[in-house]
């Protein structure tokens, strides 16, 4: 798994790639919670390069979402590959997370 944090039109973006599993998710959690601690108002996650996610990766994002909601922040996803979207749908989390097709849709929402 690789994580890059960058700015796009004044918004924070996490560009995530590779496999998110029990081994790699603690690093994702650390980065995510660091941004949440700084009360980033909108955090966008680019999933285009993610080839795999397990329940520990999903749990990390659920924790992140709860943290952001506590101060009125928004956590947005875009570019989820089909297999990963299916996992979110099966878990009924597609109704909980803000999921967009591309970065412009996320930014303009």
Give, to the nearest 10 degrees, the angle between helix 25-37 and helix 55-69: 10
The footprint of another protein on residues 62-101 (CB under 8 A) is 62-63, 66, 83, 87, 90-93, 96
d(C-alpha 71, C-alpha 74), whole Å: 9
Of 63 and 98, which has the nearer Cβ to another protein?
Answer: 63
d(C-alpha 50, C-alpha 34), whole Å: 21
Which pair of tokens denotes residue 76?
């947005």
Contact between 23 and another protein by CB under 8 A: the answer reads yes
Smallest gap from residue 10 Cβ to another protein (A): 29
Using CB under 8 A as the criterion, which residues of the chain lie in contact with another protein when the complex forms? 19, 21-23, 52, 54-56, 58-60, 62-63, 66, 83, 87, 90-93, 96
């Amino acid at each position: 798994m690789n994580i890059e944090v960058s700015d796009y039109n004044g918004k924070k973006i996490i560009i995530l790639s590779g496999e998110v599993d029990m081994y790699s998710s603690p690093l994702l959690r650390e980065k995510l919670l660091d941004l949440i601690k700084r009360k980033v108002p909108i955090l966008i996650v680019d999933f285009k390069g993610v080839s795999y996610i397990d329940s520990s990766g999903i749990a990390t994002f659920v924790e992140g979402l709860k943290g952001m909601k506590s101060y009125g922040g928004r956590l947005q996803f875009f570019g989820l590959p089909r297999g990963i979207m299916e996992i979110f749908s099966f878990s009924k989390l597609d109704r909980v997370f803000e999921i967009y097709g591309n970065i412009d849709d996320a930014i303009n929402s």
